[in-house]
């Protein structure tokens, strides 16, 4: 298998959910970049499990240890390696699934791909635990972009069938809104809708079930001209990283699938000259991207996250060893909804991709 992504900035993730540690290597960082440990910890805390009643009971502090590539608080320009030790694991909960793949998980496909030698405990290398090092890498990239005035923020657009009544204003959302959302464990634009979302998650947990949802993300102050046509477009670059996040099943930019129902006169973003003599568009249906290249308008995309596949309800599966149908009741500690914790991961993937393009 290959766990490496990127060309200008290369990242490689390693580890398993119930192994000794998970980690990441970043290659291609310029020397002299400030490694703000407090800033990284704040970003890691947004993703860490066990902080609210809406997440898994597994408690991980996600404390990282930088092994190389950092000296006196700045990047050296050599490969930067960081590890995050695994602590609160109950591996015995997964003995039953060694021969009984969980529906919705990669247990079956992983067994086939790696001929049964894969570590299945907690999902092994397929686990969402591997998103912790991704957030670490994203924190470094995010800090670099913020120093250039580029800001990213997200809100939970929907959980199950409950939807935030507001969306980002595609042409005029300010950075203060995004910065405020980035400090919220459950970021929404309408607090009332947010409470309904939380209630629906707790209800699903009580029923032994789970929920998915959609996250809307915006990047402000990206200059025009970032990206390339075709294979290294902004859309293809970000999509590759976003789809690398476990549970992500859909990505759309701007109006996405809705734009297919529009007429050209409705979908086209017409231009005007701003007071600052900058070329802007009246609308932003294309999400700030044309021809795979940024046009200076806010970059907007939505990410669909599927319901957590580990649920308490009995599910049908097979016993691979006996070759018979079976009923599985999953043990262990699992999120009834991973969408809130996916928000910082989605942002991390986006900033890694953007910095690589820049």
Q: Which residues are annotated as a binding site for FMN?
A: 125-127, 291, 306-310, 333
Residues 6 or more apart in contact with residue 144 via CB below 8 angstroms: 33, 355
Concatenated DSSP letters of 128-197: GGGHHHHHHHHHHHHHHHHHTT-EEEEEEEEETTEE-S----TTT--HHHHHHHTT-SS--SSHHHHHHH
Using the structure block, give the residue that is written with the tokens 């009923």: 327
Q: Which residues are annotated as a binding site for NADP(+)?
A: 47
Q: Where are the beta strands (DSSP E) in 246-333?
A: 248-253, 271-273, 279-281, 289-290, 293-294, 299-305, 315-319, 324-328
Bridge partners of 12? Answer: 4, 25
Question: What tokens does 311 get?
Answer: 């649920």
Contact 33, 78 (CB under 8 A): no
* Cα within 13 Å of Cα(331), Cβ side: 12
Burial (0-12, 13-18, 19+ Cβ within 10 Å), 21: middle
Contact present, 20 and 4 (Cβ < 8 Å): no
Q: How many CA atoms lie within 13 A of 264 on its CB side?
A: 0
Q: How far apart are CA 208 and CA 153, in angstroms?
A: 32
Q: Containing H/E element for 324? A: strand 324-328
> In whole angstroms, how large is the CA radius of gyration of the chain?
21
Give binding residues as ranges. 47, 125-127, 291, 306-310, 333
């Amino acid at each position: 298998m290959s766990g490496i992504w990127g060309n200008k900035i290369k990242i490689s993730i390693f580890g398993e959910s119930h192994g000794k540690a998970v980690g990441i290597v970043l290659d291609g960082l310029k020397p002299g970049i400030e490694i703000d440990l407090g800033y990284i910890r704040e970003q890691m805390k947004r993703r860490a499990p066990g902080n609210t009643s809406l997440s898994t009971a597994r408690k991980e502090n996600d404390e990282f240890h930088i092994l190389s590539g950092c000296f006196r608080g700045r990047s050296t320009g050599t490969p930067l390696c960081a590890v995050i030790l695994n602590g609160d694991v109950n591996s015995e909960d997964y003995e039953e699934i060694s021969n009984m793949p969980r529906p919705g998980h990669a247990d079956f496909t992983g067994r086939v791909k790696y001929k049964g030698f894969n570590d299945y405990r907690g999902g092994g290398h397929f686990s969402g635990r591997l998103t912790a090092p991704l957030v670490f890498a994203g924190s470094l990239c995010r800090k670099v972009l913020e120093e250039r005035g580029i800001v990213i923020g997200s809100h939970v657009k929907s959980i199950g069938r409950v939807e935030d009544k507001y969306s980002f204003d595609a042409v005029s959302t300010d950075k203060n809104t995004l910065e405020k959302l980035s400090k919220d464990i459950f970021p929404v634009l309408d607090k009332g809708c947010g409470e309904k979302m939380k209630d629906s998650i707790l209800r699903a947990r009580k029923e032994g079930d789970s929920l998915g949802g959609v996250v809307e993300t915006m990047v402000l102050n990206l200059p025009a001209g970032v990206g390339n046509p075709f294979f290294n477009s902004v859309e293809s670059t970000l999509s590759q990283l976003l789809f690398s996040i476990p549970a992500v099943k859909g990505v759309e930019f701007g109006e996405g699938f809705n734009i297919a129902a529009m007429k050209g006169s409705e979908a086209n973003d017409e231009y005007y000259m701003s007071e600052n003599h900058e070329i802007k568009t009246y609308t932003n249906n294309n999400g700030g991207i044309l021809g795979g290249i940024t046009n200076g308008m806010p970059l907007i995309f939505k990410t669909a996250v599927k319901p957590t596949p580990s649920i308490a309800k009995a599910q049908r599966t097979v016993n691979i060893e006996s070759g018979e149908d079976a009923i599985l009741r999953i043990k262990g500690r699992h999120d009834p909804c991973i969408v809130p914790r996916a928000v910082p991961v989605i942002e991390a993937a986006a900033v890694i991709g953007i910095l690589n393009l820049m």
